[in-house]
Amino acid sequence: MKRMHVHIAVDDLDKSIGFYSTLFGSEPSVVKPDYAKWMLEDPRVNLAISQRGGRNGGVDHLGVQVDTDGELRELAARLKAAGESTRDQEATTCCYARSNKSWVNDPSGIRWETFFTFGEATSYGEDEPASEEPYFKSGCGVAKGCC
């Protein structure tokens, strides 16, 4: 089953944790010094917030979280078939998790992340850079710097 993902850059992590905890009637499932995440069932969403230098407040990116690597590959294939340039990442560390990912910008430039998480990490790791340039060419299938 798929889960909608929304990542929001915030100015004040503590105030934002309070706001979203009240809004959803639930405390975050993960809290770090610069990050918090809710894995909600109603609505079925993975909501993440982070306070990191150099990021403007607001929606950082949207995404779809899947339950298996096979679902990720199917969804990434759909993105490639739609003619969009994707960027695939294998066994990457981001948002205190280990994941396989495929990134794409929609026709309006909105960043979308599709991902399968298979473990936790002790550091935030590398987030996808906010860029106006297209990501890797379709079919690259390798992490940073391959094309």
Coil, strand or helix at 94: strand
- Overall average pLDDT of the 57-79 stretch: 89
pLDDT, mean over the chain: 81
Task: Write the CA distances from 70 to 65, 77, 125, integer angstroms.
Answer: 12, 11, 24
> Looking at the predicted structure, is the pLDDT value of residue 84 above 80?
no
Domain range list for the chain = 3-120
**DSSP H helical ranges for 25-68:** none
Tens of pLDDT, residue by residue over 88-105, are 888 887 777 889 998 888
Query: Domain 3-120 falls in which CATH fold?
Result: 2,3-Dihydroxybiphenyl 1,2-Dioxygenase; domain 1 (3.10.180)
